[in-house]
Each structure stands twice: as structure tokens, then as C-alpha cells.
Amino acid sequence: MIEAGNVRQGLPSEPLAGEVTDILASKRTVRIERIASTGQATPEGEWYDQDHDEWVLVVAGAARLRIEGEAADRDLAEGDWVLLPAHCRHRVTWIRAEPPTIWLAVHF
Amino acid sequence: MIEAGNVRQGLPSEPLAGEVTDILASKRTVRIERIASTGQATPEGEWYDQDHDEWVLVVAGAARLRIEGEAADRDLAEGDWVLLPAHCRHRVTWIRAEPPTIWLAVHF
């Protein structure tokens, strides 16, 4: 049985309280996720600080990403990717809600 | 220095003799690649047979994938992904050449 799907299908049809995360593949130290966001920025003053590397891709939509120590937000559009090393503190300052912004995240 | 890019940019502008592979991230047992193909199917009678899992996503374009033991090719369009377990023999029977088909491949 081969697992397969489409990252653009099965999205929330309206703004939701939270992001919707689907695990597309997971094995040993690697996890591939599709994240559908309907506007959830990181709460003010909070940062993501992870003990593993994360590679993120904007499949559809748009977002702004702040990386600690950088002078300004990074504008991310469709196709943009960023490699976030472990303990690179970052936050999503804005995200397009409608239609949902779709991220692909590879945690490794 | 944060590594970043766009999977839809920097593509070959014309059909090339071979695929163009860019390594976007690589660490320990994980490698993330962007592959731009201008029509390269797997040669007749050949199969990919890898000793690791591979997760592939069609970022743009279209392709047909044959998995050994399946009765027919799988049609892959934009957004489609497939998880190919280690030693799942497969071949690309057709791929859209113009504009180039863009794959994302996570080897892990």
C-alpha cells in the first residue's frame, strides 16, 4: 500500500480556531507535515525554539516570518523556502487567511 | 546565515540533456532536493530501486509514475505527493517538459 495524496486538497473551507496539521510521512527522526493555516500568527512575544532543524516551504498563500536577530520580517510567497536550524528562534508575524496558507514542513 | 530560496525560480529555460538537481538541505540521513525536469522519463526497462525512503511532491508540472506491481501508471499533477518506501521499484514513464516539471524530493 503506497501512501499518496495532494497537498492542495482537503483544506479547511473557513477560518478555524487553529492550524490544521496533517502528517504526510514520519519515520525515525524525520517528519513531513502539511500545515493549513487560516491566519494564525505566533502570539505576540512568543517564539518557536526547536531542538531540531526544520525546512519549511510555502506551497500556497503568503506569510511573514521574523527570525530573531534580523532587522525585519521576511516576506514569504508561494514557492519560498527557509531552512531553520535548531534553536533558530522564529515567529510568524502574519499569515494570509483566505484562502488558507499551505505550508510544507520537514522536521529532521 | 539562514539558507532560503524559491523552488519555482532558477529553472532551466529550455529542454536540457538531463534533469537539474539542487540540494536545498542536507544533514545526517536526510536530503531535500529540488529537481527540475525538462522531459526526462526513466529509460525503458530501468527502475529506481533505492535503499532509503523517498517522499516526492510535484510542485509544478505533471508526470506519470509506474510502481512495480501496479496495473497502471499513476497520473501526478501539481500538489500530488507519493511516499516511496525503500526498495519500492518505480519509474517515471512520462514527464511534462515545457515548462519544466518541478519535483521536491525528500530522501530519508
**pLDDT means over runs of 10, chain B (108 residues):** 92 77 92 92 91 96 96 96 96 92 96
ipTM of the complex: 0.90
In our burial notation (b when 16+ CB lie closer than 10 A, e otherwise), range A13-43 reads: eeeeeebbeeebbeeeebbbbbbbbbebbbe
The arithmetic mean of pLDDT across residues A58-74, rounded, is 96
Closest CA to A104 of B81, B93, B86: B81
Alpha helices in B3-46 (DSSP H): none
- Give me the amino acid identity at B44: E
Between CA B105 and CA B34, with CA B51 as vertex, the angle to 5 degrees is 15
DSSP letter assigned to residue A53: -
User: pLDDT-derived band of residue A11, with 50, 70 and 90 as boundaries?
Assistant: confident
Cell numbers 529553472 label which residue?
B11
Closest CA to B92 of B70, B71, B63, B69: B63
CA distance A16 to B93: 41
Which residues on neighbouring strands pair with residue B81, listed in sequence order? A5, B57
Contact yes or no for B24/B5 (Cβ under 8 A): yes
Q: A30–B30: do the CB atoms touch at under 8 Å?
A: yes
From its phi and psi, is residue A87 left (phi > 0), alpha (psi between -120 and 50) or beta? left
**Mutate which of B76, B104, B107 to test chain A, going by most A C-beta atoms within 10 A?**
B104
Classify residue A104 by burial, with Cβ atoms within 10 Å: 0-12, 13-18, 19+. Answer: buried
Identify the pLDDT of residue A17. 72
Regarding pTM above 0.95, the answer is no
CA distance B36 to B16: 10
Residue A48 or residue A39, greater confidence:
A48
Which residues on neighbouring strands pair with residue B35, listed in sequence order? B21, B103
At residue A103, φ and ψ (nearest 5 deg) are -110, 150
Interface of A with B (CB under 8 A): 2-9, 24-25, 27-30, 32, 53, 55, 57, 59, 67, 70, 74, 77-85, 88, 104, 106, 108
- Helix or strand holding residue B18 (H, E): none
CA distance A59 to A57: 6
Identify the pLDDT of residue B28. 84
Identify the pLDDT of residue A10. 86
pLDDT tens string A45-57: 899 999 999 999 9
